[in-house]
Structure 1
Amino acid sequence: MDFQKLKDFRNTHNPFCEKLGILVEEIQAGCAKVTKHVTEEDLNPAGLAHGGVYFSMADTAAGAASASHGFFAVTVNAQYNYLRGGRPGDTFTAVARESKSGRTICVYDVQVTNQDGTLLGTGTFTYYLLDRKIEL
């Protein structure tokens, strides 16, 4: 699997992430890293980054890591723990690491941090690998 081509594919074929400004920075076997710069448009009424930003980043990182197997996949379960809030101007990073790889089910542990390395949240995401190869 050419991980550079896979990264490029993930960045050019995901309109949802394009809209949110989530960028896949790295994909390796069973792991991936995504980043996002937090803007005013990402805030909730309290002036902090909306929870959907953290969750979407974690899901995107885990999805990119699952794509390293060469197949499209869908999320079948997700659990996310919000630990700290982020503000406009922050840069968030989500890193997913595979904790279980199976023929059809894979599980990923994800950490979301800010530009200072402060842990903002953690999650566990379960993916079902579809019988549909990613053609690069």
Structure 2
Amino acid sequence: MSYLEEFKEKNIDMGFNAAMGIEVLELEDDYSKVRIPIKDWEQNPINAVHGGVIFALGDVVGALATWKMGKMVTTQSCHISFLNAAINATELIGEGRPLHLGKRTYVVDVEIRDTKGTLISKMTNEYHAMNREIV
């Protein structure tokens, strides 16, 4: 089993990420891309994806963008701008790109889009690097 396969098995294919249906599409040293299928219960009364689902996707894709550092992370802060409603969306795509990978703090730029390419939200996430290896 490769390091990446082991990482995905231990950090993606279980718990919250699995329950949400989050799927890793790409994972590179300086980029992560994931998708989430949208379920009916994840939409609000106007058929827009609930902001909590969008936020959760952004948090996951941001953390994944730091994987090359080899450390478990915990979220310190996130700034999110909801730019467009994801009305009747069947899935969302998140992309993360590290802006800063320091000794103890990582900062990641995150974009969430619908399948039409509409920018739904923009996030800047800050993570604390823990003293635990990810695999």
* Contact kept in structure 2, 1:7 and 1:27, CA below 8 Å: no
More displaced 10-residue stretch of structure 1: 56-65 or 85-94: 85-94
Alignment length, in residue pairs? 134
More displaced 10-residue stretch of structure 1: 28-37 or 68-77: 28-37
Give the superposition deviation at 1:11: 2.1
* Contact kept in structure 2, 1:40 and 1:88, CA below 8 Å: no
Partner of 1:54: 54
Q: Deviations over 1:11-40 (max 9, x none)?
A: 223x11222222222221132111011121
Partner of 2:7: 6
1:101 partner letter: L
In the alignment, structure 1 segments of 5+ residues that lack a partner are none
- Taking a change above 3 Å as real, the CA distance of residues 89 and 46 of structure 1, as seen in their structure-2 partners, is closer
* Contact kept in structure 1, 2:35 and 2:91, CA below 8 Å: yes
* Contact kept in structure 2, 1:30 and 1:69, CA below 8 Å: no
Q: How much is the aligned-residue C-alpha RMSD, in angstroms? A: 1.7
TM-score, L = length of structure 1: 0.89
Q: Secondary structure at the match of 2:47?
A: coil
TM-score, L = length of structure 2: 0.90
Give the superposition deviation at 1:66: 1.8
In the alignment, structure 2 segments of 5+ residues that lack a partner are none
Among the aligned pairs, what percent are the same residue?
24
* Contact kept in structure 2, 1:22 and 1:36, CA below 8 Å: yes
Q: Deviations over 1:71-125 (max 9, x none)?
A: 1000001011101111345221000000011011010000001111111110000
| CA distance, structure 1, for counterparts of residue 109 and residue 126 of structure 2 | 9
* Contact kept in structure 1, 2:43 and 2:50, CA below 8 Å: yes
| CA distance, structure 2, for counterparts of residue 17 and residue 89 of structure 1 | 19
Partner of 1:24: 24
The list of structure 1 runs, each at least 4 consecutive aligned residues, that deviate by more than 4 angstroms after superposition, is: none
